Amino acid sequence: MSLKLLQLVFGLLLGVLMALFHRPLADFMQEREHAIDFIFRSRGLRLPPPLQQSTARDLYFLLGVGVALLQAARLWMLMR
Protein backbone atom coordinates (compact mmCIF):
# COMPACT_ATOMS: atom_id res chain seq x y z
CA MET A 1 0.00 0.00 0.00
CA SER A 2 2.89 2.36 0.68
CA LEU A 3 4.21 2.07 -2.88
CA LYS A 4 0.75 2.75 -4.34
CA LEU A 5 0.35 5.79 -2.10
CA LEU A 6 3.74 7.11 -3.20
CA GLN A 7 2.79 6.57 -6.86
CA LEU A 8 -0.46 8.49 -6.43
CA VAL A 9 1.23 11.37 -4.63
CA PHE A 10 3.83 11.70 -7.39
CA GLY A 11 1.09 11.50 -10.01
CA LEU A 12 -0.73 14.31 -8.23
CA LEU A 13 2.50 16.31 -8.11
CA LEU A 14 3.05 15.71 -11.82
CA GLY A 15 -0.42 17.00 -12.65
CA VAL A 16 0.00 20.11 -10.51
CA LEU A 17 3.41 20.82 -12.04
CA MET A 18 1.98 20.43 -15.54
CA ALA A 19 -0.77 22.91 -14.69
CA LEU A 20 1.69 25.37 -13.13
CA PHE A 21 4.27 25.19 -15.93
CA HIS A 22 1.88 24.77 -18.84
CA ARG A 23 3.23 27.80 -20.73
CA PRO A 24 6.91 26.78 -20.98
CA LEU A 25 5.89 23.17 -21.60
CA ALA A 26 3.54 24.15 -24.43
CA ASP A 27 6.07 26.55 -25.92
CA PHE A 28 8.76 23.85 -25.90
CA MET A 29 6.43 21.35 -27.58
CA GLN A 30 5.37 24.00 -30.12
CA GLU A 31 9.00 24.51 -31.16
CA ARG A 32 9.38 20.78 -31.72
CA GLU A 33 6.10 20.53 -33.64
CA HIS A 34 7.08 23.38 -35.95
CA ALA A 35 10.45 21.74 -36.64
CA ILE A 36 8.79 18.42 -37.46
CA ASP A 37 6.19 20.20 -39.60
CA PHE A 38 8.98 21.95 -41.54
CA ILE A 39 10.76 18.63 -42.16
CA PHE A 40 7.60 16.95 -43.45
CA ARG A 41 6.61 19.91 -45.63
CA SER A 42 10.10 20.14 -47.15
CA ARG A 43 9.73 16.51 -48.23
CA GLY A 44 6.32 17.13 -49.79
CA LEU A 45 4.11 15.63 -47.08
CA ARG A 46 1.28 17.96 -46.14
CA LEU A 47 0.03 17.56 -42.57
CA PRO A 48 -2.41 19.72 -40.65
CA PRO A 49 -0.67 22.77 -39.21
CA PRO A 50 0.41 22.69 -35.56
CA LEU A 51 -1.89 24.14 -32.93
CA GLN A 52 -1.86 27.83 -32.21
CA GLN A 53 0.17 28.86 -29.18
CA SER A 54 -2.83 29.82 -27.05
CA THR A 55 -4.61 26.56 -27.89
CA ALA A 56 -1.54 24.50 -27.00
CA ARG A 57 -1.17 26.34 -23.70
CA ASP A 58 -4.83 25.77 -22.84
CA LEU A 59 -4.55 22.12 -23.79
CA TYR A 60 -1.52 21.50 -21.56
CA PHE A 61 -3.17 23.38 -18.68
CA LEU A 62 -6.33 21.26 -18.96
CA LEU A 63 -4.26 18.10 -19.26
CA GLY A 64 -2.36 18.99 -16.08
CA VAL A 65 -5.55 19.80 -14.18
CA GLY A 66 -7.14 16.58 -15.44
CA VAL A 67 -4.20 14.46 -14.30
CA ALA A 68 -4.19 16.21 -10.90
CA LEU A 69 -7.93 15.67 -10.43
CA LEU A 70 -7.72 12.03 -11.48
CA GLN A 71 -4.84 11.36 -9.10
CA ALA A 72 -6.56 13.25 -6.28
CA ALA A 73 -9.69 11.13 -6.78
CA ARG A 74 -7.65 7.93 -6.81
CA LEU A 75 -5.80 9.06 -3.68
CA TRP A 76 -9.09 9.88 -1.96
CA MET A 77 -10.51 6.45 -2.88
CA LEU A 78 -7.39 4.76 -1.50
CA MET A 79 -7.60 6.65 1.78
CA ARG A 80 -11.29 5.90 2.30
Q: Total domain count for the chain?
A: 1
How large a percentage of the chain has pLDDT more than 90? 84
Taking the CA atoms of 22, 65, 3 and 5 in sequence, report the sign of the dihedral they define. Answer: positive
Query: What is the value of pTM for the model shown?
Result: 0.84
Share the mean pLDDT of the chain: 94
What's the pLDDT band for 80 if we cut at 50, 70, 90? confident
Residue ranges of the alpha helices (H) in the chain? 2-20, 22-42, 53-79
2 inside domain: no
Q: Is pLDDT above 80 for 1? A: no
Mean pLDDT of 26-36: 95
C-beta separation of 64 from 11 below 8 A: no
Domain extent at residue 22 = 8-42+54-79
